[in-house]
A and B are shown apart, each in its own frame.
Chain A
Amino acid sequence: MSANIISSVIQAFVERFGAQHSQFRGEDTLTLSADHIVAACLALRDEFGFELLSGQTAVDYWPELTPRFHIVYQIYSIQHNQRVCLRVPLNGNAPTMPSLTGVYPNANWQEREIWDMFGVRFEGHPDLRRILMPQDWEGHPLRKDYPLGYEEVQFSFNYDEIDRRKPYAKE
Chain B
Amino acid sequence: MGIEQKLGNMGVVTMRLEDAVNWGRTNSMWPMLFGLACCAIEMMSAQASNYDMSRFGMELMRASPRQSDLMIVAGRVTRKMAPVLRRLYDQMPDPKWVISMGDCASCGGVFNNYAIVPGVDEVVPVDVYVAGCPPRPEALIHGIMTLHEKVRGEKIKDWS
A168 to B121, CA, bound (A): 6
Given A133-B80, A134-B79, A134-B80, residue A153 in contact with residue B112 (CB < 8 A): yes
* Minimum distance in angstroms from A13 CB to a CB of chain B: 38
The residue that A147 contacts in the complex, of B114, B124, B125, with Cβ under 8 A, is B114
A170 and B125 contact, CB distance less than 8 A: yes
A12 to B116, CA, bound (A): 46
A115 to B114, CA, bound (A): 17
B122 and A171 contact, CB distance less than 8 A: no
How many residues of B are counted as interface, with CB atoms below 8 angstroms from the partner's CB atoms? 16
Q: Mark A150-162, 1 if CB is under 8 A from B, else 0.
A: 1101100000000
B50 within 8 A of A: no
B114 and A141 contact, CB distance less than 8 A: yes
B65 within 8 A of A: no
A154 to B86, CA, bound (A): 25
B113 and A150 contact, CB distance less than 8 A: yes
B122 and A166 contact, CB distance less than 8 A: yes
At the interface, is chain A mostly helix, strand, loop or mixed?
Answer: loop
B113 and A149 contact, CB distance less than 8 A: yes
A133 to B119, CA, bound (A): 19
**Residue of A at shortest CB range from B107?**
A154
At the interface, is chain B mostly helix, strand, loop or mixed?
Answer: loop
A80 to B86, CA, bound (A): 51
A1 within 8 A of B: no
Give every chain B residue within 8 A of A133 (Cβ-Cβ): 79-80, 115
Q: Mark A129-167, 1 if CB is under 8 A from B, else 0.
A: 000111000000100001111110110000000000011
Give every chain A residue within 8 A of B80 (Cβ-Cβ): 132-134
B118 within 8 A of A: yes
Given A133-B80, A134-B80, residue A168 in contact with residue B113 (CB < 8 A): no
The residue that B112 contacts in the complex, of A134, A151, A167, A169, with Cβ under 8 A, is A151
Given A169-B121, A169-B122, residue A150 in contact with residue B112 (CB < 8 A): yes
A155 to B121, CA, bound (A): 18
A residues neighboring B (CB under 8 Å): 132-134, 141, 146-151, 153-154, 166-171
11 pairs of residues in contact across A and B, judged by CB atoms under 8 Å: A133-B79, A141-B114, A147-B114, A148-B112, A148-B113, A148-B114, A149-B114, A150-B112, A151-B112, A169-B122, A169-B124
Known: A151-B112, A169-B121. 7 other contacts (CB 8 A): A134-B79, A149-B114, A150-B112, A150-B113, A151-B108, A167-B122, A171-B125
